[in-house]
Structure 1
Amino acid sequence: MKPDACSIGLFNGDQVLLIQRAYAPFLGQWTFPGGRMEPGETPLDCVKRELFEETRLLISDPIQVLVETVGEGAKSYTLAVFAAHCPMGAPVTSHEISDWDWVHVDEVQSYRTTDHLAEIVHTCAQYLGLAEVER
């Protein structure tokens, strides 16, 4: 499957950065930073651009973890999910984000998230070799 959108899980130890969407799709839901690919853009370029646009955070070596189909209503996207280590800091968020939080990986399920986010968080953590967050 060729992705048309990308997102990224940023980890600092057993904490993951979640953002709350200010607009549809996924209005009010907590998820990873990310968005739609632009014409001619690679998934890696997309995820770095979207992360910077939404949070002003820069990362150097994200790992693509999985590709999944996500959607809301009649619209669906093929989403490439990346993961990376990131120093814990305060993002400078765009208007697309209503809130953000560094969340312990075991507390993700207590947030109103996009589908399967808690499982995706654990999968990303495993790809990054974060043994302390394995199930």
Structure 2
Amino acid sequence: MKKKPYKIAAKAIIFQGSKVLILRKSFAERNAKDTHGWDFPGGGLEPEEPLMEALAREVMEETGLQVKVIAPAYVYDEIQEEKHLLIIKFACDKPQGSVVLSPEHDSHHWFCVDQLDQTRVPEWMKEEVRRAYRVYNEFRRSHR
């Protein structure tokens, strides 16, 4: 079996009260990668870049926001043709600034968590939001 290089990516599931930020990839990104197009801000680590710095950098590059990272909410890996990708999704709070999207995305949406089922967001993404929302709420209860 051929060994594949590991790549680590960090994604932010950002909450503001009962709303969650979900991005829509640009038309070019959706076509190039044949993807559903929904996304959380974040991306891959650069060589020797600490995980939290990478997450803060990616969120700033893709949204113009600064956030407070609460805790990991979801971890999974994906073995792709060219690499083995490890993805860590973090529940985040207190977005500061105004959303300014990078060319990678063409729109952003603040969805009410309790109304996600009425959206076109994929089921797996809804489940990740629910899991991160539990982490987010637990954090808020313990830090009152």
List runs of 5+ in structure 2 lacking aligned partners: 1-5, 140-144
List runs of 5+ in structure 1 lacking aligned partners: none
Q: 2:69 aligns with which of 55, 58, 61?
A: 61
Point out the more displaced range, 49-58 or 88-97. Answer: 88-97
Q: Is the CA contact (8 Å cut-off) linking 1:19 and 1:32 kept in structure 2? A: yes
What TM-score do you get using the length of structure 2 for normalisation? 0.74
Q: Give yes or no for the alignment of 1:47 onto 2:55.
A: yes
Q: 2:21 aligns with which of 12, 17, 23?
A: 17
Query: What CA distance in whole angstroms lies between the structure 2 residues aligned with 1:78 and 1:26?
Result: 20
Q: Is the CA contact (8 Å cut-off) linking 2:9 and 2:86 kept in structure 1? A: yes
Query: What CA distance in whole angstroms lies between the structure 1 residues aligned with 2:53 and 2:33?
Result: 22
- Percent identity of paired positions between Structure 1 and Structure 2: 26
Alignment length (residue pairs): 128
Query: What CA distance in whole angstroms lies between the structure 1 residues aligned with 2:49 and 2:66?
Result: 17
Query: What is aligned with 1:93?
Result: 101
1:129 partner SS: helix
Q: Give yes or no for the alignment of 1:122 onto 2:130.
A: yes
- One-letter amino acid of the structure 1 residue matched with residue 125 of structure 2: L
More helix by share: 2
Alignment of 1:76-87 (within 5 A): 77-87=85-95
Larger radius of gyration: 2
Root-mean-square deviation (Å) = 2.7
Query: What CA distance in whole angstroms lies between the structure 1 residues aligned with 2:81 and 2:116?
Result: 26
